Structure 1
Amino acid sequence: MNFISPKVDYAFKKIFGSEQSQAILISFLNAIIYGGHQIIQSLTIKFEYPDAELQLFFIELPKFKKTLSELSSLSDKWIYFIKEAATLDTIPDKLGEVNEIELALTIANQAEMTVEELEFVDRRAMMLQDEKGRITYAQEEGRKEGQITEAITLILRQLKKRFGEIPMAITSQIEALSIEDLESLGEDFLDFNRLADLEHWLEARGD
């Protein structure tokens, strides 16, 4: 048995938004929102709703570290299903104890899906992975940009203390340096005796 990942948007909609998914969605929402208490008794699945009624609940999957044997609450089992379904090759007894999770895994069983559905899930999974990669890259670039800005601010402050007001042309050259050159300048400027030494250093970096 192979299961599609509920973390893929199309798979999530198929598992939780199909005609046969009402009991699954009720169990899932009661587990996640109400700690397993049977607050929601019935619901209607629809895809158009007023924005004023929209509430967002986030599950931080990377922080969930429980193994299959450690699952105890209904919310534990649903979160494990969301995080690990694609890694399973059978329906574990621990998850099968919950009828709604067993039904969710049945819907998620790749053997029950058409070739077209599986191809679409694969494409969506790749798109989501690409998007995750872009977000990670943007975060890394943001951190790098923050480091550069911090280094420029610190170096300009130190240079101003040592030589007084720094000409705009020199400031612009410093702002254009890479993080590696900024780190070198942070060490080398202690050996400068006059502003001309800084100008020579920058000229050498530009050659």
Structure 2
Amino acid sequence: MKFIDPRIDFAFRKIFGSEDTKDILIGFLESLLRLDGDRRIAELVLLDPFLVPKIKELSYSILDVQCRDHRGISYIVEMQIQKTSAFLKRIQYNAAKAYVHQIEKGEDYPKLNQVIAITITDFILFDGVHHPVSRHESRETVTGISCLQEIVYYFIELPKFTRSLDELLDPLDQWIYFIRFAGSLEAIPEKIQSEPVRHAFQKALVANMTREEYDLYDKAGIAITDAQGAIQVARDEGLMAGHRSGRAEGLKEGRAEGRAEGRKEGELALLRRILQRKFGAELPDWVERQLDAAGADAIQQWSDRMFEAQTLEAVFSSDDTRLDEPSVGTGG
């Protein structure tokens, strides 16, 4: 047997976001949120179900799973394999957008229901949190009381999950093990007893994919590998350029301004290199003019947007109204 890797967003959405696999998504949500008894999910509506023609139109972009249960609670489930500088901002933005889009202008606020944003990362996101699953919500800072629970965030950081197959304790452990390791397994482990998890393994079988699906899956994997390689090359070249420029300027002037200018040149070289890798070797003249005239703040802002933007215009847009990322305490 051979399984597709659930960490690749195309595979993740195929497994968790298809109409014929709602039991998989429900099983995952109930395990993560500890829903039992009358709190279990009776019905789930996929707001944007997995369809190959639509995925092809999206090309390589963010493929999250959005759904709503019988109580009106909305869920956004996303797999992220590589870290970006504006990652937490985007998570909060998408959750807030899902919340406000529940009602039209003029409708009553009581119609708004809770939004739960679930993000699975293949990298460590919170250095101060040592457990792999964390829950984040707004709390009053003195008493710790939580009165604002309309938007709640769950994060699963895969690198922090270190249990072996024999150490799995519950269905949630089985889900995390599946997401992290299915792509390297050759059979469904006997230790996996949860029916929804076993169904997820069946859905992940390469043998059950169409040729078109496998081609799209393969392209998504190649795109991730290329992006990771481009980032590393650009980082190396940018650092080298920054060091050379900083040393030359510092020796010549003997001032801190030289070192700062060197750092800026290195960051600019890194930004230009990644833009060329993502949008084409020849950047338009208007982009080059903006880069040549850029200050440190602009370079940082463009770098934040670069990995999520689908066009150069989106990278260099002057519209940036989002708030800074809040500090995050220990999840639970």
Moved more, 42-51 or 126-135: 42-51
**SS of equivalent to 1:37:** coil
1:201 paired residue number? none
- RCO higher in 1 or 2 (8 Å CA, sep ≥ 6)? 1
- The answer (yes or no) to whether the contact 2:3–2:185 under 8 Å persists in 1 is yes
Q: What is the match of residue 30 of structure 1?
A: 30
Change over 3 Å in CA distance of 1:75–1:143 after alignment to 2: farther
Contact 2:15–2:203 (Cα < 8 Å) also in 1 = yes
2:50 matches 1:52 = no
Match of 1:78 among 175, 179, 191: 175
- CA gap of 1:123–1:71, structure 2 versus 1, over 3 A, is same
| Residue in structure 1 matched with residue 137 of structure 2 by the alignment | none
Does the C-alpha gap of structure 1 residues 117 and 73 become closer, same or farther in structure 2, counting only changes over 3 Å?
A: same
* Structure 2 equivalent of residue 194 of structure 1: none
1:5-154 alignment, distance < 5 Å: 5-32=5-32, 34=33, 36-38=34-36, 39-41=39-41, 42-47=43-48, 51-53=97-99, 55-58=117-120, 59-95=156-192, 97-137=193-233
Kindly tell me: are residues 69 and 148 of structure 1, through their superposed partners in 2, closer, same or farther at Cα, counting changes over 3 Å? farther
Which has the larger Rg? 1
Letter in 2 for 1:25: L
Change (3 A) 1:14 1:146: same
Shift of 1:139: 5.4
Deviation at 1:136, TM superposition (A): 4.1
* Structure 2 residues without counterparts, runs of 5 or longer: 49-65, 68-95, 100-114, 121-155, 267-332
Q: Tell me, what secondary structure is at the counterpart of 1:5?
A: coil
TM-score (norm 1): 0.63
**Larger fraction in helix:** 1
Which one-letter code corresponds to 2:212 in the other structure? E
More strand by share: 2
In 2, Cα distance between the equivalents of 1:9 and 1:71? 25
> Larger deviation: 115-124 or 134-143?
134-143
- For the structure 1 residues 116 and 156, does the alpha-carbon distance in structure 2 shift closer, same or farther, using more than 3 Å as the test? same
Query: How far 1:82 sits from its partner (Å)?
Result: 0.5
Deviations 1:24-73 (A, max 9, x none): 101112223x1x43344131112278823363434211222211111112
Query: Aligned residues, how many?
Result: 165
2:84 is matched with which residue?
none
What is the CA distance between 1:126 and its match in structure 2?
0.7
Instruction: Give the secondary structure class of the aligned counterpart of 1:57.
Output: strand
Structure 1 residues 24, 175: closer, same or farther in 2, change over 3 A? closer
* Identical residues among aligned pairs (%): 34
Secondary structure class of the residue paired with 1:117: helix
Partner Cα separation in structure 2 for residue 111 and residue 37 of structure 1: 33
Residue matched to 2:148:
none
CA distance in 2, matches of 1:91, 1:11: 17
TM-score with structure 2 setting the length:
0.42
Q: Are residues 110 and 140 of structure 1, via their aligned partners in 2, closer, same or farther at CA, if it must alter by over 3 Å?
A: same
Give, as a single letter, the amino acid of the residue that structure 1 aligns with 2:188.
I
